[in-house]
């Protein structure tokens, strides 16, 4: 079998990656929910008055949640493909994937709270 190289490989990689994102959007409710939240938070990150590095952090943690959800969904799909019977390692793999998503969600919530919510409260309640 001949391997694809160069531009063709890059194009095919993009095709396969977009197919994976579409599959997650079609079959994974959690990914759809997080994508909707991302559609709100990413533009909001460009609206709030923060510096460039803070904006990168705000957008970055949202993207990190989506990446973690894609990896979690991939793990779940592979485990489910192996078979429907319960196996301790299969359960552990799925739980670890979910745990990764939770850690990313908590980190995203912290970053947004620290950079946006707390700063907004400080601005509202600070006398000029």
- What is the set of active-site residues? 69
Distance of alpha carbon 25 from alpha carbon 19, whole angstroms: 10
- Minimal CA–CA distance to 65: which of 26, 98, 88? 98
Classify residue 83 as left (phi > 0), alpha (psi -120 to 50) or beta. Answer: left
59-84 burial, b at 16+ Cβ within 10 Å, e below that, comes to bebbebbbebbbebbebbeebeeeee
Count of alpha carbons within 13 angstroms of residue 79, beta-carbon side: 19
Q: Dihedral of CA 9/32/45/101: which sign?
A: negative
């Amino acid at each position: 079998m001949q391997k694809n190289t160069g531009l063709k490989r890059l194009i095919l990689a993009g095709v396969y990656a977009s197919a994976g994102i579409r599959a997650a959007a079609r079959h994974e409710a959690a990914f759809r929910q997080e994508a909707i939240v991302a559609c709100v938070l990413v533009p909001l990150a460009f609206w709030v008055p923060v510096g460039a590095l803070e904006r990168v952090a705000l957008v970055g943690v949202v993207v990190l949640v989506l990446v973690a959800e894609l990896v979690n969904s991939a793990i779940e799909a592979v485990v489910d493909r192996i078979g429907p019977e319960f196996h301790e390692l299969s359960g552990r793999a799925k739980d670890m994937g979910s745990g990764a998503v939770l850690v990313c969600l908590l980190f995203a919530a912290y970053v947004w709270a620290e950079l946006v919510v707390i700063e907004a409260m400080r601005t509202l309640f600070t006398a000029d």
